[in-house]
Structure 1
Amino acid sequence: MSKTNKKHKQKSLNNSTEKIKRHFSIVVYFSRIVWKEKKAYFFYFVIGILANAIYPFVNIIGTKWIVNEIANPHRTIQNLIYIAAFMVVGNFLMSTLRKVANDKKSLCLDKVDRSVKTMINNVSMHIKYEDTEDPEILDMLKRTIKGYDEVGIASLGNLYHSIISNFIIFVGVSNIFIQATWILVVVLLVDFMASFAIDKKEMKINYNFFNKKADIERGIDYIINKLPSYQYGKEIRLYDSSDMILERQNDVAVNLKKIEKKQVNELWKIEKWYHIIHRVCTGLVYAILGIDTLNNKILIGEFASLASATNAFSYSLNCIVSNVMEMGYCTNVMKEVYKYLSMTINDDGDILPTIKNDIVIEFKNVSFKYPRNDKYILKNINITINSGEHIAIVGENGTGKTTFIKLICRLYKVDEGEILLNGKNINDYKFDEYVKLLSVVFQDFKMFAFSIKENIVIEDRNNQDKEIVELCEIGGIADRVNSTNYKLDTSIYKLFDEKGVEFSGGEAQKIAIVRALYKNSPIVILDEPTAALDPISEYEVYNHFNTLVDNKTAIYISHRLSSCKFCDRIIVFADNTIKEEGSHSELMKLKGTYAEMFNVQAKYYS
């Protein structure tokens, strides 16, 4: 054998070894989850295997006894009754045990499935924020959800259950054949090898098409499940978008159908050969048994028994082969779930913030560009925000204002430089503790489909309502809340409660501001806090808000420059860096970018 062939053979062996190791690591991983959540599953798993394995032998043995007894000239009714009773009772007991074991396993796995889906959800809520915008991660999540729904722990368990029980049947029936006529084993093994080779190709085809369909199905999910929701309702109706959406849905469905048709055609090309080989092997088995019976090598009862055993042998072999091949497919699918659950959660430091009053945030030569983008959004940012200082950040759209806030919030990591909190890199602090220092309202804030109170307090759900009511008064939303059926306990949206309410954009923004106030963090950040409010509401919110955050560090982003006049310092972003900074009066005297923007807006204020 040449060195090249030896290397190729060794490489193939190593790849096979790695696949087996990966397979068992995934099985062990999910088995530990089952053991942790529901140990009883393994008891019913074993009971089910024993019942499955014994069941066919009741009929094989019973058939042999009853046919031989009928053919026996000295047969007795009593013996026939005993044999019939053995078959009836045996079948009943094994069937009952199988049914009970399967039902109990399903009940056990209901709890396990809920736990795994909770784990998936937990990862989705705690992975790096930048990963939530990564198409590869979104595709991985789609494959994870679809893969678990399609396969899940139940399929892995059922496959192992079937493989073990059918292997026991295979060994038992093989022993019967060898004692009677060994040539049957050879014929049936040919059937086995054909089934093995064809099923292997079939699983490979299915897995390849599973990946091909993932991208298309993500588009279908968007069109069918997301577009019809109320968030898109206005645009669809006012811009008559329905024809465009339905046309896109049809295009996506046609593409999916083409892929599925191609999958069916490829599968049929190989499946037809197995059907031919299987039928030939089955015919040979009955021919061999018939000849042996005519030559008096076996009794008529053994003919019937072996014929029954042949079906059990073929069925068990086919099950083992298809299960092993399907196991490869299921393992590949569950590998996606395993990879997602093993994803790195937010990078965490080990320093606990021991900050009480004085907080200083410093940007040192910070530059940043979004993942998979070569253009810098921020370049060489150097600024210090002192404790208790009220800062306004202004600038035209796209100059990096919101990105600046996201960096403070550790939603992204800087590409160059560092951000310090009291002299230490913010990434060195424990993330969960660090974010407790921040109360943030982004312009694209979201409301949860829970109660008003839950949307405000988030974690501290046992808090008395008095403080919340006071904050709602300050936030200018109290009258609207009191007008609802259950006040603070009223659900937002109708997803969980048909009596839920839909707040206007301005009302929802007021609730978001109340949420930030309730958190009572030493750093308050408002990204376009009044974008959805009318001028009167804006005045009321600012009038109360500036008093409330008097001693806190406050950072505002606003396009209404008149709202920035009360701030200690105004930072002007332009050309992806800080262009100007100073108080309102200082910047107006500078007659630069800020003064020009303010004077343009002042025409409309007057």
Structure 2
Amino acid sequence: MIKEITKKEKDPKPKYNMGQNSWFMIKLAWTSGEKKVLVLSLLSAILAVALNLVNLYVSPAILSAVERHAPVADLLLTIVGFVLGIMLVSAASTYVNANTLYGRISVRCEILNLLNRKAATTSYPNVDDDRYRKLLTKSSECINTNQAAAEAIWTTLTTLTANLLGFIIYVSLLTSVQPLLILIILVTTVISYLIGNYLNGYGYRHREEEAEYERHMDYITGRARDLSAAKDIRIFGLRPWLEDLYGKAMESYTAFHSKAQSVYIWAKIADLVLAFLRNAIAYAYLIGLVIQNDLGVAEFLLFFTAVGGFTQWVAGILGGFNTLHKQSLDISTVRECLEYDEPFKFDGGEHIEAEADRKYEIRLENVSFCYPGADKNTLTNINLTLHPGEKLAVVGLNGAGKTTLMKLICGFLDPTEGRVLLDGKDIRNFNRADYYTMFSAVFQSFSILAGTIATNVAQNDVGIDMERVKECIEKAGLRAKIESLPEGYETYLNREVYEGAILLSGGETQRLMLARALYKNAPFIVLDEPTAALDPIAESDMYQKYNEMTSGRSSIYISHRLASTRFCDRIIMIDNAGISEEGTHDELLKLGGKYAGLYEVQSKYYKEGEADNGEE
């Protein structure tokens, strides 16, 4: 059931204002090599004003020529001149507008690249940070279409520039008639702007609520499309349930937008009422001048049209600022996401370079860790040293904290207390991306890329050492399978992207992940229960294979099955947020503690399973 959002939060203020966000986009266009976006946008605004002025003067000019009884040739010349002027300016404007699109798309794509890079490289704790994930979801919306803020802002800035230029020209024109008209129009439009500015900010003030509904819908949609869930959906008849969940999420999402639209419509109503008042006053004044014979027919037509045009310029400016304000809120969200705090050091950290054959030591000193929002530690006061070349097993029941310990060692998390040291240096001082190069790992969830088998092993599509790929595939016991395929190592994986891609079995996928770990050739190898889906004997065989092929490397094997890690130099058992027992497999059995008791239970289960299989 979707959790209803009822908590009333204080309206958040955007970190950046309209001017700052506009300047951000201008600088981005300049630095991304799309300077033509700025030039063409300015030229488009100038041409829009020019076309407006030509249209403004065409009727009064012709009427003036008729009034003074100008020769037919002069009248025709005036008409032809204005027609040619309109044609030329319109053609130039159309050409410029048609060529602005591509550069604007490129700038939007640059923002997309920045967001993707942020998502791929951000500090691991941010991945589970609810606020960051909401910002990322909302930021993605701001760049996903041509109408999204990251691209549409150029249209707004161009239109706003045109309106400002037209406003200046029309002010000088109308001042000669009655400056009071200008004041009336300005006052009414400013009031309209202030009302619209506040009401149109509703969406930003409630953006986290909207993002929450969107996350629910995206999750349900993703699960419905997930191939790994296809069997469960069919066997357990989950389709009606998923549809019901999606329907409730969509209902909440629709209700939110209905409420938002009801707020936005009041801004439109206020603008219409004020526009009616200012136009009525201006037209009444001009008609009065005509009645008093203070204006001729041609002048009346000019100023009558100018008043209408002036109100449009002013309304355009205010509407432009309202639109720019809403788009600026989205741009501010994108910038807040891009600039989200990084708890880890990257560029500013100490540079290190992994050396495969070097012997490193990792030591945990009084390490404790508590997840944000939790009421107790997952791990408390852990003291542990991984010696060079040592094979360390971390065992314990599900939920004991084994994976959390792995994340601390690998640098995915920083301890809330204590230190993690690499050769005596706190890893918080290192460039964290450099520190990650020290590890090669196989985790519980396999990350199969949409690419070839070779790229999945090398984790790259440039400069692949094919001989090394083949060597690692052979060591992993997958060579016969791969070379039996028509495309061999260039066979594509992931049918969601590539038609004709193959699906590897579970065991074949595990071997592929082993080949990937071998290819990286890092000083430390971590296996976080990658064989949990296998039976105990198959898992033990797989771990032995890992052991043989990683000889001489420091390794960490994480498992809840004790028999799988008997070959390790040392075994630690995690229980009650700490290391409860430590030693070799034989030493822990002789100790007769929790490890021995759990091993006895598991071994009895395995023996019973083998007996049942034998009877069959």
- TM-score normalised to the size of structure 1? 0.91
Residues 142, 149 of structure 2: 8 Å contact kept:
yes
| Cα distance in structure 1, aligned partners of 2:122 and 2:16 | 27
Give the superposed CA RMSD: 2.3
- CA distance 1:56–1:455, change in 2 (3 Å): same
User: Which amino acid in 2 is paired with 1:516?
Assistant: A
Matches within 5 A, 1:173-192: 173-192=170-189
Deviations 1:107-164 (A, max 9, x none): 1122211111011011111111111111111111112112334643333332222222
Asked if 1:40 is matched to 2:36, the reply is yes
2:345 match: 347
Offset at residue 366 of structure 1 (A): 0.9
| Cα distance in structure 2, aligned partners of 1:572 and 1:211 | 42
Deviations 1:528-559 (A, max 9, x none): 13223456754653444222211111111123
Residues 132, 340 of structure 2: 8 Å contact kept:
no
Matches within 5 A, 1:252-291: 252-291=249-288
Deviations 1:177-223 (A, max 9, x none): 22234454344335423432332233233433545422212222222
1:79 match: 74
2:130 match: 135
| Cα distance in structure 1, aligned partners of 2:14 and 2:600 | 68
User: Which amino acid in 2 is paired with 1:232?
Assistant: A
Instruction: Structure 1 unaligned segments of length 5 or more: list them.
Output: 1-17
2:289 match: 292
Offset at residue 434 of structure 1 (A): 1.7
Residues 167, 313 of structure 2: 8 Å contact kept:
yes
SS at match of 2:420: strand
User: Which amino acid in 2 is paired with 1:52?
Assistant: A
- CA distance 1:454–1:63, change in 2 (3 Å): same
Residues 438, 525 of structure 1: 8 Å contact kept:
yes
Matches within 5 A, 1:445-524: 445-459=446-460, 461-524=462-525
**Percent identity between the two aligned chains:** 27
Asked if 1:28 is matched to 2:23, the reply is yes
Offset at residue 283 of structure 1 (A): 3.2
Offset at residue 19 of structure 1 (A): 8.4
Residues 180, 298 of structure 1: 8 Å contact kept:
no
Matches within 5 A, 1:298-337: 298-337=295-334
Residues 409, 438 of structure 1: 8 Å contact kept:
yes
SS at match of 2:437: helix
Residues 572, 594 of structure 1: 8 Å contact kept:
yes
Residues 61, 305 of structure 1: 8 Å contact kept:
yes
- CA distance 1:226–1:172, change in 2 (3 Å): farther
SS at match of 2:498: coil
1:396 match: 397
Residues 475, 549 of structure 2: 8 Å contact kept:
no
Residues 209, 259 of structure 1: 8 Å contact kept:
no
SS at match of 1:579: strand
Offset at residue 524 of structure 1 (A): 0.9
Equivalent residue pairs, number: 588
User: Which amino acid in 1 is paired with 2:425?
Assistant: K
Asked if 1:49 is matched to 2:45, the reply is yes
1:374 match: 375
User: Which amino acid in 2 is paired with 1:352?
Assistant: I
| Cα distance in structure 2, aligned partners of 1:350 and 1:277 | 62
User: Which amino acid in 2 is paired with 1:135?
Assistant: D
From 57, 62, 66, the counterpart of 1:66: 62
| Cα distance in structure 1, aligned partners of 2:362 and 2:204 | 50
1:14 match: none
Return 401-410 or 85-94, whichever deviates more: 85-94
Residues 493, 503 of structure 2: 8 Å contact kept:
yes
- TM-score normalised to the size of structure 2? 0.90
User: Which amino acid in 1 is paired with 2:85?
Assistant: G
Offset at residue 603 of structure 1 (A): 2.2
User: Which amino acid in 2 is paired with 1:364?
Assistant: E
User: Which amino acid in 1 is paired with 2:268?
Assistant: E
| Cα distance in structure 1, aligned partners of 2:218 and 2:505 | 27
2:141 match: 146
| Cα distance in structure 2, aligned partners of 1:161 and 1:270 | 23
From 197, 214, 219, the counterpart of 1:217: 214
| Cα distance in structure 2, aligned partners of 1:102 and 1:212 | 37
SS at match of 1:445: coil
Return 34-43 or 184-193, whichever deviates more: 184-193
Instruction: Structure 2 unaligned segments of length 5 or more: list them.
Output: 1-12, 608-616
1:4 match: none
Deviations 1:546-603 (A, max 9, x none): 2221111111112332222211111111111111111111111111112112222222
1:423 match: 424
Deviations 1:332-383 (A, max 9, x none): 2211111111123442331425755221111111111112223211111112
- CA distance 1:543–1:213, change in 2 (3 Å): closer
Residues 362, 420 of structure 1: 8 Å contact kept:
yes
Matches within 5 A, 1:351-370: 351-353=351-353, 356-370=357-371
Offset at residue 20 of structure 1 (A): 11
1:9 match: none
SS at match of 2:60: helix
SS at match of 1:148: coil
Offset at residue 43 of structure 1 (A): 1.5
Offset at residue 294 of structure 1 (A): 3.4
| Cα distance in structure 1, aligned partners of 2:445 and 2:78 | 76
| Cα distance in structure 1, aligned partners of 2:589 and 2:455 | 44
SS at match of 1:180: coil
From 98, 113, 131, the counterpart of 1:103: 98
Residues 151, 334 of structure 1: 8 Å contact kept:
no
Deviations 1:24-75 (A, max 9, x none): 3333233221101111212212211211121111011222111122233x23
Asked if 1:162 is matched to 2:163, the reply is no
SS at match of 2:367: strand
Residues 474, 544 of structure 1: 8 Å contact kept:
no
Residues 188, 281 of structure 1: 8 Å contact kept:
yes
Residues 450, 491 of structure 1: 8 Å contact kept:
yes
| Cα distance in structure 2, aligned partners of 1:512 and 1:545 | 11
User: Which amino acid in 1 is paired with 2:243?
Assistant: L
- CA distance 1:188–1:427, change in 2 (3 Å): closer
